[in-house]
Amino acid sequence: LVLSGRVPQQSNNTISLDLQAHGAESSAEFTSWPDFHNGAAAGLRVAEGQAKLTRTWIVFNRPRQPSHSHAGLLMALGLLGHLEVLAPPDVYRYLTQEHDATTVGILLGMAAARRGTMDSTVSKMLFLHIPTRHPPSFPELELPAPVQAAALLGVGLLYMGSCHRLMTEILVAEIGRRPGPLVTYDREGYALAAGLALGLVTLGRG
């Protein structure tokens, strides 16, 4: 990740972004999601024009420690349809890492790989990450706002073009859901994800 640039007005001198001046925690905030996008770009480049990647290749390249760059790679592989070769235990291992970016990559990647299929297994996985749709007897889960938004957008991809009535009603309800104990932080992003998902579900259906 390049964090420097040239300034033509200063004889093309190279100036680097001093992350240390903002502290260690702020440095991670600066680079985490750019690393995610770099990983996604690398995934699209690696898998471009190739036949289906094997489950062995994907699992073998899983790092010991989760990272934002690998999370982006997973999303990219899903966009190209390669994640459909993963078995449920493989997906479970990714989710149990409790790494927000990896969870986002898996949710969006699996939904994109199965887009338009209404796959019941992937659907259950997505709704597990939408606390507002849990039954009252379900244990309370604290899930980050980006994970919830990714799950909503994943629903749109999974049911894309189906005009599924129940999913449509659920997404309309999530768009207008008022802030509460389960949806507080980044409420605008949550509503936007629900709106985009609604558009995908009803795509091309008037």
Q: Are 196 and 174 in contact (CB under 8 A)?
A: no
In the block, residue with structure tokens 């964090």: 3
Q: Are 196 and 156 in contact (CB under 8 A)?
A: yes
pLDDT (tens place) for every residue of the chain, 206 residues total: 677 788 887 777 887 777 666 555 556 677 888 899 999 999 998 766 677 889 999 999 899 899 999 999 999 999 999 999 999 999 999 999 999 999 999 999 999 999 999 999 999 999 999 998 998 888 888 888 899 999 999 999 999 999 999 999 999 999 988 776 655 567 888 899 999 999 999 998 76
Helix spans in the chain (H): 24-46, 55-60, 68-79, 88-95, 100-113, 120-128, 145-158, 165-175, 187-201
Residues 206 and 194: their CA atoms lie apart, in Å, by 18
Which pLDDT belongs to residue 23?
59
117-to-105, 122, 130, 192, 199 alpha-carbon distances in Å: 19, 10, 20, 23, 16
Which pLDDT belongs to residue 48?
66
Q: Are 72 and 33 in contact (CB under 8 A)?
A: no
Q: What is the pTM of this model?
A: 0.86
